[in-house]
Structure 1
Amino acid sequence: MAQTGFCDSRPLLDLHKKAEETRVPLRTWANACSPKERWTQVEDFATRGAFMTAEQDHRWVLHGLHMSTEDGFMGYSVPNARRSSDCWEEPLLWRISGLQHMLVPGLLRHEMELAMSKLGLIYDRTYAWDIFTTMMRSQLHHTFSSAELPGAYSEKMLAILIDWLIQVHEVLHFSEETLYLTVYLLNRAVRLLKVSISNLQLLGVVCLFLAGKKEECLLPEVSELCHLMENTYTPHQLLRMERRVLCGLEFELSYTPPLHFLLLSTCIAQCSNQMVWMARYLLELSLLEVQCVVFQPIHLAGAALQLARCVLQEPPTPEGETAWCVSSSIFVGSEATLLAIMRILALAAARAPIGSTRASFLKFRTEDTMYVSKHPALMTAPSLLKVPGLQT
């Protein structure tokens, strides 16, 4: 959270609720309590992009915009587009994400600011692009060189533990950021610490406890956490494991979750609520797949959104396609990576209803989540593998 600059997670995640039901971010409250004179930067739209207009209602009126649907991915190019130094001081995405050309950076920056403001992530839009570039930098440190698990651990064993942690996370009513941080800390801990299989559940709860300390306002008592483990471990053992994990991780608990990239992309792309829930379901399934730890968070988010778009097959609109082009521009150049992740997520979604790890499937088959996990296209692997680009 400190790395990304995001505020409270509830308004961001409860997209299905009405505006008056969402909570105001805590940092917004803090800023409102002590008003300060803020300098409002006057945006020069002529230097922010030749195809961007000042009026929000007409921001998609783009001239000379050429769309491409090669390989099932939306892209666009602008002839003789000028990259302004004041709106793109550093070609960050070109270097970090391996993109050879980032198109209309001023337009992307403007839409990123609008998305963060709409989602209630920032108080001052002046810092929106700085937050996004910090997210892009920090995510490089949150991947693993190999998906191989050390020692006697197996993929199935770790998946069962994560599935149980998802259920505990639901019982404690923690935010979604806490869940993603928990799994990230767990993946780091099993690779850095020598923990016996008999203490693996204790390690998972400790990671959840540490993630909650970083993301939540209210935490359960240590005795309550032990009760959730049927008192298999004592409070003393839990606190001792907590010290061991903190020392092993060198107190580095920062993480840029793919969920932030996903929700920003869906907001820019003007996705429907069903599309958002479907993408969130597919993204959560990636937590159970050990192979996904080698991919960058932004690629996991892009693959989940692209697969959700292919599964739902919503009727396209000119404005929606243009918005999708702008949103997907940050994934240009990584199509092969996205396809590899989509294959993993497609098979995971097909196994979810009948497998032993069904926590996410049950979580996303409720009315609040629009029953996305029960979508007919997700029931069998063959129907998913017919999606363009997913043929075996």
Structure 2
Amino acid sequence: MAQTGFCDSRPADLHKKEKRAPLRTWANACLPKERRPPADSEEPRAVHCKTEPERRWPRRLPVSAEDGIIMGYAEQQGAVQTGVWVYGCKEAALLLCLHRLHSLQVLVPSLLHHEMEVAMEKLGLIYDKTYAWDIFSDMMRSQSRYTFPNAELPQPFTDSTRAILVDWLIQVHEVFHFSEETLYLAVHLLNRALRQIKVSISNLQLLGVVCLFLAGKKEECLLPEVSELCYLMENSYSKKQLLRMERRVLCELKFDLSHCPPLHFLLISASIGRCSDQVVWMARYLLELSLLESQCVTFQPAELASAALCLARKVLQEPPTPGGETAWCIASSLNVCSEPSRLKIMQILAVAAAKAEGQDTRASYIKFSTAQTLHISSHPTLCSAPNLLGLPCPQTRAQTREGAM
């Protein structure tokens, strides 16, 4: 495949508050039409309406039990009268004293609702925090559409072939400075296309580029020219072949390009759990390694995010703080992953991280070894990450070479 090289990535800062203008800004900028002032002879119309005191209706969210998240949440009237949640300067004090309580069953719904609004607004995932819980509930319900019953690939493709292609797509993704959502969507479309479209090995690279191109059309504002994509493939395919493959993929996938990336679940949980920058970068690195592992396609996005964040905390072993542990307890209520599934994903990611440096598919390792990513991929504890889970550490290429000598 073509050698594309790398460019400096510009990762998004989790704790940087970035405001995005909503779509209705243009409409709000238009001034309303001036009303005609009433003439002196005209009498103002009487408004016959019964004045009632202002009421705050409790809003109940229809969250089903199968979603695995808090059910029957109702917004408290007054919110301060019950002592469930206190806004403003008392927020920090409340979080510090919560760890002394024996049960959080009464406090978690209100705390989680408020923290969800703050997290999604900070990450720029919503424009109106009133709908934060509704959007998250829909994310939880719809994520089952993005998994596969098994990890088997149709012949003649293998897990190694797929990993090489995904690694090359990560490099191309870095060259164009696409967002992380574009990468996760491109790999998801590739996983679907491999199972629904009959393509030959010779057209596998073309299929991968088309999936990245379609993901860019959905997520990006600026797109490369078709000729640039052909150049990255050393002009092995013409523009006509690329556009024909794009039409074929869209028809086979029925123009369904929707995907809820695990990155969103990870960032939301990390923000609610007050995770440090190092933990967040470690979890993002582990989550990107899951794109190379074909076994991970059978798990839901929320499960992958939960396992990556738990493994990152286990690898770094940061000293606990009362406020941090309380915030993590609140964030853990979002986890719908069963303990066996989480442990299995953590084992897959731990082995992948331990041998990432010596692999041929090391685009993610290089991407997360820069100063902007805190050199997280070269963290010394990653080499012994399988030991933390009771697994033997895989031999690196250097160790294998020394044993042969």
Instruction: Please say which of residues 105-114 and 174-183 is displaced more in the overlay.
Output: 105-114
**Alpha-carbon distance in 1 for matches of 2:387, 2:21:** 42
Cα separation, partners in 2 of 1:117 and 1:18, compared to 1, 3 Å: closer
**Alpha-carbon distance in 1 for matches of 2:352, 2:30:** 48
**Alpha-carbon distance in 1 for matches of 2:185, 2:316:** 29
The structure whose Rg is larger is: 2
CA displacement 1:11-49 (0-9 Å, x = unmatched): 9x6117865xx563564855764699xxx9896366798
Q: How many residues align?
A: 343
Cα separation, partners in 2 of 1:374 and 1:119, compared to 1, 3 Å: same
Q: CA deviation at 1:363?
A: 0.1
**Alpha-carbon distance in 1 for matches of 2:209, 2:124:** 30
2:399 is the counterpart of 1:373: no
Correspondent of 1:15 among 9, 13, 17? 13
Q: CA deviation at 1:123?
A: 2.3
Aligned pairs (5 A) from 1:71-110: 77-78=103-104, 81=106, 104-110=108-114
Correspondent of 1:261 among 258, 265, 274? 265
Q: CA deviation at 1:373?
A: 0.1
Structure 2 match to 1:86: none
Correspondent of 2:331 among 321, 327, 334? 327
Structure 2 match to 1:24: 20
AA paired with 2:387? K
Structure 1 match to 2:387: 386
**Alpha-carbon distance in 1 for matches of 2:21, 2:364:** 27
AA paired with 1:386? N
Cα separation, partners in 2 of 1:309 and 1:17, compared to 1, 3 Å: closer
Q: CA deviation at 1:336?
A: 1.5
CA displacement 1:37-90 (0-9 Å, x = unmatched): xxx9896366798643233334415558667xxxxxxxxx436x4xxxxxxxxx
CA displacement 1:261-281 (0-9 Å, x = unmatched): 000111101111111111100
Cα separation, partners in 2 of 1:272 and 1:202, compared to 1, 3 Å: same
2:362 is the counterpart of 1:362: no
**Alpha-carbon distance in 2 for matches of 1:310, 1:318:** 17
| Structure 2: gaps (5+ residues) | 1-8, 33-54, 58-74, 393-405
Structure 1 match to 2:95: 60
Instruction: Report the 3-state secondary structure (helix = DSSP H, G, I; strand = E; otherwise coil) of the residue aligned with 2:372.
Output: coil
Instruction: Report the 3-state secondary structure (helix = DSSP H, G, I; strand = E; otherwise coil) of the residue aligned with 1:368.
Output: helix
Cα separation, partners in 2 of 1:332 and 1:205, compared to 1, 3 Å: closer
2:79 is the counterpart of 1:44: no
Structure 2 match to 1:193: 197
Instruction: Report the 3-state secondary structure (helix = DSSP H, G, I; strand = E; otherwise coil) of the residue aligned with 2:374.
Output: coil
**Alpha-carbon distance in 1 for matches of 2:280, 2:84:** 27
Q: CA deviation at 1:114?
A: 1.1
| Structure 1: gaps (5+ residues) | 1-9, 68-76, 82-102
Q: CA deviation at 1:185?
A: 0.1
Q: TM-score w.r.t. structure 1 length? A: 0.81
AA paired with 2:85? M
Structure 2 match to 1:157: 161
Q: CA deviation at 1:242?
A: 0.4
Correspondent of 1:238 among 242, 253, 265? 242
RMSD: 2.8
Contact 2:186 2:212 (8 Å CA) reproduced: yes
**Alpha-carbon distance in 1 for matches of 2:276, 2:24:** 27
Cα separation, partners in 2 of 1:64 and 1:347, compared to 1, 3 Å: closer
2:220 is the counterpart of 1:216: yes
Q: TM-score w.r.t. structure 2 length? A: 0.78
